[in-house]
Amino acid sequence: MRLPVRKLRPMAFLFLLSIGLGITAGRAAAQKRVSIGVTETIETLNPYGDSVSLLYGIWSEITGPFCTYNYDKGDFEGRLAERWKVENPTTWVFYLNKNYKFNDGTPVTADDVVHSMMNRVIKDPQSKQKASVAGPIVKAEAIDKHTVKFTTDKPTAPLLGFVCDRFIVTSKAMFDKYGRDVADKEHMMGAGPYRLKELIPGQRLVIAKRPDHPEAKRNPRAPDEIVYRVMRETEQRVAALLNNEIQIAQFIPPHLRQRVEQSPNLKITATDSVEIMFLAMQPKPPFDKKEVRQAVCHAINRDQIISTLLEGFASRLDGPIGPGQYGYDPNLKPKLSYDPERSKKLLAQAGFSKGVDAALQTPVGRYTLDKQLTEAMIPMLNAAGFRAKLLTPEWPTLWAGVQKGTVPFYYMGRGSVQDPSAALHQYFHSGETPRIGYSNPKLDELLDKEQAEFDPKKRRQYLSQAMSILTEDAPACFMWRHKLLWGLNRGIDYKPLPDARIFGMDIKVVKK
């Protein structure tokens, strides 16, 4: 029997039309839904089960940020903890905002904060945030229903850098009633402006706005729903942005910027990252000699790399940190600027007038154009008298080597440097980590002093002196901070944050 093709055609047309209308209807229903293409994978419903910048931001939206760093003001400001005071150098008291309520309407109390810090962050074996969030905190106790005391094991002036935008507060009652796993999976009770709606590990996470939340009133045009979609490939994020699958795309590499800008519906916005990029040198031969380390710093033409490969989307660093970061000193000296002739002289002074081997290791695909940028450094190093070569181990291998102190020369980034204290201690203070293995008693003394100094003016002075020593002694050459490019739909008004956290309350839907 032959099929009546002619008769079927109108039916097929109607069928396709109905599907098309259905899809269009689906899109119209989600007018204030914003999808964001993100690069980190989202894998677990345990808010304490990962230690990744993006996830700290997302969970803070769901459970309510404890406190946050305001980049415009250059200071920390209260959220769930509306204010705080330093009772003595090892005791901090935080006063909770009484208007913060969990999804079920119960208020957030000091017991929830203590439970979250002690049971979830510090003591839970599943927690991966103990060092990052609790840091020096050894005890949390409730003073009254809305006041909490944190005790640290040593005076820690930059404590807010550990807890703000990171410390996640979840419901003690739910934990007690259902146990950790069921509470996280089925009764995620947060006090943030959004609530968790769906998580498909490795694919997407969806949060929905709580219109009655105090934060939600601050920005009525914030999206009703936010879909974080895992998109690791840059081409994929650009394609999804072009066809309006997503309205915000994280981290567009400079060479794809034009494709986004050519679309009338899209725009690119750039923001200075707080991630500092540097070349680290273990003080072992040949880098045990200061002259060799300084020669590396003088050999790299950072301005040329920024203007060509990075198309201007980076800011040169003349010290460990740049403008907008706590303790930045525009008059910091010395400046190890591009001077290959000086490099040659320094190498000769160090006894390497005939050149010296240097194997630079870099991750591939972890940082913006990391391989291409380090490839460009090799001829520059060679022109200055090194016999340089580039090695590109896979990230887990390189990272394990760096953390064990077995990589002599590497290109690396350190993120979340609003306040440089933790990063400087981690990489340059004697005995803290073997990542560089550098030791300088004078620097140690200054770093210890700044950490224990609660007077901001004096602390800045100590930091500035420490950073001056670092730049001069050059255990690392500080390269640049990338300007992170975000692709945005023109219907969205959003100013990305330098630490790449994404807060739904910062997004405005301006066009339906």
Partner 1 sequence: MASYLVHRLIGTIPVLLLISLLVFLLIHAAPGDPTLLLLGEETNAAEVAQAKARWGLDQPLYIQYFKFLKSAAVGDFGKSFKYSEPVTRVIQSRLPATIELAIFSIIIATVLAIPLGVWAGSRPNSWLDNLGTTFGLFGISMPSFWLAIMLILLMAGVLNILPSSGRSTYGIAGLEQSGFYILDSIIQQNWKGVWDALTHIFMPALALGVNMLGILMRVTRSAVLEVMNEEYVTTARAKGLREKNVIWRHVTSNALIPVITVVGLELGTLLSGSIIVETVFAWPGSGSLLITALNARDYPLVTGLVMTYTAAFVVINLVIDGLYAVIDPRIRY
- For partner 1, the binding residues (CB under 8 A) are 19, 22-23, 26, 29-30, 33, 35, 41, 43-44, 46, 49, 51, 125-126, 128-132, 135, 198, 200-204, 206, 227, 229-233, 235-236, 238-240, 242-243, 245, 393, 395-397, 399-401, 403-404, 414-415, 422, 426, 433
The tokens of 79 are what? 């959220």
Q: How far is the CB of 259 from partner 1 (least distance, A)?
A: 8
Of residues 19 and 143, the one with the C-beta less far from partner 1:
19
Q: Which residue reads 């895992």 in tokens?
A: 230
Which amino acid type is present at position 84?
W
Pairing of strands 356-361, 248-249: unpaired
Closest CB 406 distance from partner 1, rounded Å:
9
Nearer to partner 1, 128 or 149 (CB): 128
Degrees to nearest 5, angle at CA 119 with 188 and 48: 50
Alpha-carbon distance of 512 to 510, in angstroms, equals 7
Shortest Cβ 409–partner 1 spacing (Å): 17
Please list, residue by residue across 28-67, b when 16 or more beta carbons sit within 10 angstroms of its beta carbon and e when fewer do: eeeeebbbbbbebebeebbbbebeebbbbbbbbbbbbbbb
Kindly tell me which of 34 and 380 has the beta carbon lying closer to partner 1.
34
Class of residue 218 by CB neighbours under 10 A (exposed 0-12, middle 13-18, buried 19+): exposed
> Cβ of residue 400: shortest distance to partner 1, in angstroms?
4
Distance in Å, CB of 393 to partner 1, minimum: 8
Q: Which is nearer to partner 1, 102 or 427 (CB)?
A: 427
For residue 133, which of 181, 104, 166 has the smallest C-alpha distance?
A: 166
The residue among 353 and 406 lying less far from partner 1, judged by its C-beta, is: 406
Cα(152)–Cα(90) distance, integer angstroms: 5
220 or 431: CB nearest partner 1: 431
Smallest distance, partner 1 to C-beta of residue 89, A: 21
Residue number, 109 or 247, with CB nearest to partner 1: 247
Which amino acid appears at position 478 of this protein?
Answer: F
The least distance separating partner 1 from the CB of residue 349, rounded to whole angstroms, comes to 36
Q: How far is CA 315 from the centre of its chain?
A: 17
Q: Write the DSSP assignment of 240-285 as a string of letters.
A: HHHTTS-SEES---GGGHHHHHTSTTEEEEEEE-S-EEEEEE-SST
